[in-house]
Amino acid sequence: MRIPEIVLAGSPYEKGLIHGRECRAQLMRSLETYRHRYYVSKKITWEDARLIARRFSGLFTGEYARYAEEMKGIAQGGGLEFEDVLALNLRSEILYSGIAKPGEADGECTAFSAVFPAAKDGHALAGQTWDFTRAQREASLMARVPAEGDTPAMLMLLEGGMVGGKGINGAGISLTLNALTTKKTDTGIPLHVRMRRVLEAGSLSAAYSRATVTPIPVPVNLIITHKDGLSLCLEMDPEGVDVIQPENGVIVHTNHYIGPRMRLSHAHAGAGSTYMRFQRMRQLMYSKQSLTLQDLELFCRDHKGWPTSICVHPEPGTPPEKLPYSGSTNQAFVTDLTLGRFRFVMGNPCEGEFEDYSL
């Protein structure tokens, strides 16, 4: 299964129009999924979500104004209103922070990075799985954004309607994501806009600054890896940042806090799968020397702890009508930033083959 691809070029509004028009099916899938998830997980109606979006809309000034313009273009191209698209881009803030009513939200993702001395020939490797509501496979798309001035070209993995996501850029930077949860809240630049800003950075230091701009409204972990063999793991919440350095060249992160400050200020994760996936991926990453892209692909297919393994599957016996809203690994990617290679698989990694995609 190949992921739909689009090229986003032109002004911010024009980029949004392309997104909304060419990927309207993915946009409508996102709208349906998050209308359902917001209510099931947090008892938030779609009108509640639009009200939350209005509270954030005033933040899009100065250098952030262009992202609001892009969302307006998405709305116009897809036949929605701006607040609908902004509510989609607030999916992490609504599901995982204290900005909405208390509730439970599924964890997402196993992310990893390998640099010297763990990676073969000193290469810089990174990647992740994306575990979430199975229905969002139908909302997935890959966006290519050409270089513009000082902004490098980007390859982003998006959900329909989102302006930012995981991916790589032409400056040799990769970005991965892990959802975290907290009862704390703040109002600041939304996560998916931050992620877009990170991938627009030309250096690791600029990417760090863009990721950590305060206030931070949502808990999250981002791993930013650079082709020079450097990697930073950033655990963030509304009160600050913990920076986690590679251990013998390896970083692994799932959906619980591991930074020293964060572990003391947050409750343990409600789902045990995050601890199992964390342990298993660390076992795999340290199981051999000179890691390669092929090793990382194999690790993404691992089923130890099945069904909530690194390669996640729905619980056995899930009724067919509930499968679209059950948890699953929906995609995975691995990248060798030193060589500029990006390999991606749609769906469960164990059921497909990784394919090469280029900037």
| pLDDT beyond 60 at 265 | yes
Confidence of residue 262 (pLDDT cuts 50, 70, 90): confident
97-155 pLDDT, tens digit each: 988 765 555 567 999 999 999 999 999 999 999 999 999 999 999 999 999 999 999 99
Top CATH class of 110-357 equals alpha beta
| Residue 77: φ, ψ to 5° | -65, -30
Q: Where are the alpha helices (DSSP H) in the chain?
A: 12-22, 24-42, 46-57, 65-78, 82-89, 91-96, 191-199, 204-211, 260-265, 273-285, 293-300
6-64 pLDDT, tens digit each: 999 999 999 999 999 999 999 999 999 999 999 999 999 999 999 999 999 999 999 99
Q: Helix, strand, or coil here: 122?
A: helix
Q: Helix, strand, or coil here: 271?
A: coil
Q: Where exactly are the structural domains of the chain? A: 5-96, 110-357
For the chain, what is the mean pLDDT? 95
| Residue 183: φ, ψ to 5° | -90, -5
Instruction: Provide the β-strand partners of residue 96.
Output: none
**Model-wide pTM > 0.85:** yes
pLDDT value at position 268?
75
Least confident of 241-245, 271-275, 317-321: 271-275
CA dihedral 270, 327, 168, 152 (to 10 degrees): -90
Confidence of residue 256 (pLDDT cuts 50, 70, 90): very high
Mean pLDDT of 329-355: 98
Return the structure tokens found at 303. Answer: 């089923």
